[in-house]
Chains A and B, each alone.
Chain A
Amino acid sequence: MRRSNHRFSGTVGSLLLVAGMVITGQAAAAEDPISAGKKLAFDRKKGNCLACHHIEGGTLMGNIAPPLVAMKHRFPDKAKLREQIWDATKNNPRSIMPPFGKHRILSEKEIDLVTEFIYSL
């Protein structure tokens, strides 16, 4: 009884795994995280990063905040970069940068994608 149960869950598990791979595989074919993140970063109603930051390839860029270059150098730890996007006021309570995660301006998934893009710069 116990054994058959175990086998059953194992089958389901691998089926799910395969399904998961297929789904993510399809998403990746449609769009990789970096270009998906770029779209969100450039979208005025989403990240709107260009309002304040210079990013290569952007137009009508603001100069309130530092240009987004050499990000791996500035944020060796990607998680720290994500935290900065999630809530910049944690480091500096008067920061003008909107707290994208804390105030749910972007979803957690969207923040992951934007982080991937910014980290690639």
Chain B
Amino acid sequence: MRKIATLLLSAGLVASATTAIASSPKEDLEKFRAYFEQKFPGLQLDDFGNGAYALDADKRMQWEAMEEFPPYDEFVDKGREIWEKPFKNGKSFADCFGKDPSKVRVRYPHWDAKTKQVVTLEGDINKCLKENGEKPFKWKKGPIAWLSAFFGYEARGQKINVVIPDDPDAIKAYEHGKHFFYAKRGQLNMACADCHVKYPGHFIRGNLLSPALGQVTHFPVYRAKWAKKSKDGDGLGTLHRRYGGCNKQVRARPFKAQSKVYRDLEFFHQYMSNGLTINAPGYRE
């Protein structure tokens, strides 16, 4: 009897080891969400969009006070100005993204079957500028983050809805991002998943680690840490700016914002938060 059980068990182990690699995005998403819901049984799905603040009452109170007069408002307004200002050729961002700015954020990131790559919102902002003879923005902060934050703000209340098409190249990009997320890297030997899957809700020094589920809903993010570093209190930064910061902290060489690696990571990372409500931009420490 025991022998049979052992046999079954080892067969199961082998099976799970192989299926873990061959699982579909949909299966990954179900397991991912179930894991976090089990880990934090008191939370509703959308609570995860509030990150660490959903997990700690004291921090949540301070945060809610900040969100009453949010320091990112003036930068969202700057984003709106950029949206409204025509290019030198008379056209504007509306010619690239459509007239309704509230319908932009939910289309990203997406797979582009023609170029066989992941297209991000920031990528298309600069593409639009270039196609209209304008100088592209810098990738991580400033105007690109303002405009992206404006699109996020306009899309508040809508749900993340990333589509991974049944195209081997799209699956490959998704798998690449997924692998990046779970692989240990850098001199400190840490994976994204070490902090944000295994230990969310724990403190690392004075910082409460956020769950990976729901991280993308509030990006671009306004970080007090970034505001302090800037001259004019602009703490807004893009998702890829944050990726770079995380990689640097584990002493891995960060990749460039909008590199293939980070676009693929974003594809996986955003997909894992499908169904969560967009609440960008968010305020974070």
Q: List 25 A-B contacts (CB under 8 A).
A: A50-B205, A51-B204, A51-B205, A52-B204, A60-B205, A60-B206, A62-B202, A62-B205, A63-B202, A63-B203, A64-B202, A64-B204, A89-B189, A94-B194, A96-B194, A96-B198, A96-B199, A98-B187, A98-B188, A98-B189, A98-B190, A99-B189, A103-B188, A103-B189, A105-B187
Task: Please indicate the chain B residues that have their CB under 8 angstroms from the CB of A51 in the complex.
Answer: 204-205
Which 8 residue pairs are nearest across A and B when measured between Cβ atoms? Answer: A60-B206, A98-B188, A96-B194, A62-B203, A62-B204, A64-B202, A51-B205, A103-B187
With A and B bound together, what is the CA distance between A60 and B189 in angstroms?
22
B203 shortest CB reach to chain A, Å = 5
Residue of B whose beta carbon sits closest to that of A89: B189
The answer to whether A96 touches B190, judged by C-beta atoms less than 8 angstroms apart, is yes
Task: Tell me whether B195 is interfacial, beta carbon within 8 Å.
Answer: yes
Task: Tell me whether A61 is interfacial, beta carbon within 8 Å.
Answer: yes
Q: Mark B194-228, 1 if CB is under 8 A from A, else 0.
A: 11001100111110000000000000000000000
Q: How many residues of B contact A (CB 8 A)?
A: 13
With A and B bound together, what is the CA distance between A105 and B199 in angstroms?
22
The answer to whether A64 touches B189, judged by C-beta atoms less than 8 angstroms apart, is no
Contact residues of A between 49 and 105, Cβ < 8 Å to B? 50-52, 60-64, 89, 94, 96, 98-99, 103-105
Task: Please indicate the chain B residues that have their CB under 8 angstroms from the CB of A105 in the complex.
Answer: 187-188
The answer to whether A64 touches B203, judged by C-beta atoms less than 8 angstroms apart, is yes
Task: Please indicate the chain B residues that have their CB under 8 angstroms from the CB of A99 in the complex.
Answer: 189
B55 shortest CB reach to chain A, Å = 13
Q: Mark A16-58, 1 if CB is under 8 A from B, else 0.
A: 0000000000000000000000000000000000111000000
Residue of B whose beta carbon sits closest to that of A102: B189
B198 shortest CB reach to chain A, Å = 7
